[in-house]
Amino acid sequence: MLSKSLIRGAAATLFALAASLVHAQYPTKSITMLVPFAAGGPTDIVARVMAQAMGKPLGQTIIVENRPSNGGILAPEQLTKSSPDGYTILIHHIGMSTAPFLYRTLRYKPQEDFEYIGLINEVPMTIIARGNFPAANFKEFLTYIKANNAKVTYANAGLGAASHLCGMLFMSAIQTDFLTVPYKGTAPAMNDLLGGQVDFMCDQTTSTTSHIKSGKVKVFAVTTPQRVASLKDVPTLEELGVKGADVSVWHGMYAPKGTPKSALDKLVSALQVALKDPVVATRFAELGTEPIDVKRATPEALRTFLKSEMDKWGPLIKKAGQYAD
């Protein structure tokens, strides 16, 4: 007769074998990619390019699911409650590093509650205004917003969004406050800017470039230390004498804590293949961004960068004394 412990041992081995076989076949069905902002905004635009490109090497469809909320805090929270099986992943931007300092009641810890897949890209931001804004250049823009700050409206993608951070830095750099109008993503904010209901905003080239090129919005500056290749006539804030408002938005990809290593490895490899895909490079160039060096499309690089961004933004946000809740 076999002893009980021998049977238990054999059952455990069989179970482990079955589990590893299941994960070796991963993925056997479509994967959901959570997006923390509204469809049609910059994060969503990058997500859809990546979903398409990563689906190819994985041999499965990646379905984009928008979970818009103020500052994009709902989608990461949903990820923490998702099954850690490799079938739910999250794309998020710089907000992953700023949310802990903007929200007192955040229900996840960016450095503890996730598995990391890798970095994707960095995106410059642009200061743009409605098409009929009464200024022809940055100097006139600055004079106008300073003189009319009590009625000038600044749209952002919700408290805690990158556009909120940019606006906060810009206001403090030019020492002027404006009326802030928060939305649940750039897409609805941009609609109101295009319709002339709000005056200006700061947002990523991934969603602003086409409107700048078609002349539907006016552009006054880019927020990176260097000019942006696809918008080379647009000066940087630093060139215009505005110091301390530099910001560029980065995207990373995450999975629920406890996702098996075999599934994570396949996701990391699909991310790296996608970043080398010429279709991605071309689309990113049109959007004013470029794929990150694949050496940084790794869990370790994302973990390290996330920490350095938290170390950078935490003290600045605390100093500004702004909370979103």
* Residue 313 makes contact with ligand ASP by CB under 6 A: no
How many Å apart are CA 211 and CA 299, to the nearest integer?
Answer: 34
Among 62, 73, 90, 157, the residue binding ligand ASP under the rule CB under 6 A is 157
* Residue 41 makes contact with ligand ASP by CB under 6 A: yes
Instruction: Label residue 210 exposed, middle or buried (CB < 10 Å: 0-12, 13-18, 19+).
Output: middle
Among 23, 43, 274, 288, the residue binding ligand ASP under the rule CB under 6 A is 43
Nearer to ligand ASP, 48 or 296 (CB): 48
Applying CB under 6 A, the span of 73-81, 158-166, 231-239, 312-320 interacting with ligand ASP comes to: 158-166
Task: Specify the amino acid at residue 276.
Answer: K
Q: Which residues from 227-246 bind ligand ASP, rule CB under 6 A?
A: none
Among 31, 38, 49, 142, the residue binding ligand ASP under the rule CB under 6 A is 38
Hunting for tokens 């996330």 — which residue is that?
306
Minimum distance from residue 59 beta carbon to ligand ASP (Å): 28
Hunting for tokens 């790296």 — which residue is that?
272
* Residue 204 makes contact with ligand ASP by CB under 6 A: yes
Nearer to ligand ASP, 43 or 126 (CB): 43
* Residue 42 makes contact with ligand ASP by CB under 6 A: yes
Minimum distance from residue 275 beta carbon to ligand ASP (Å): 20
Which candidate, 63, 62, 88, places its Cα nearest to that of 77? Answer: 88
* Residue 182 makes contact with ligand ASP by CB under 6 A: no
Minimum distance from residue 230 beta carbon to ligand ASP (Å): 18
How many Å apart are CA 117 and CA 303, to the nearest integer?
Answer: 9
Q: Which residues from 279-298 bind ligand ASP, rule CB under 6 A?
A: none
Residue 138 neighbours by CB distance under 10 Å? 19
Q: Which residues from 110-149 bind ligand ASP, rule CB under 6 A?
A: none
CB 273 within 8 A of CB 54: yes
Cβ neighbours of residue 294 under 8 Å, at least 6 residues apart? 272, 275, 276
Q: How many residues bind ligand ASP (CB under 6 A)?
A: 16
* Residue 259 makes contact with ligand ASP by CB under 6 A: no
How many Å apart are CA 68 and CA 23, to the nearest integer?
Answer: 31
List the end-to-end C-alpha distance of the chain, in Å, as a whole number.
64
Among 162, 247, 292, 324, the residue binding ligand ASP under the rule CB under 6 A is 162
How many Å apart are CA 250 and CA 312, to the nearest integer?
Answer: 14
Cβ neighbours of residue 285 under 8 Å, at least 6 residues apart? 229, 230
| Binding interface with ligand ASP (CB under 6 A) | 37-38, 41-43, 93, 95, 157, 161-163, 185-187, 203-204
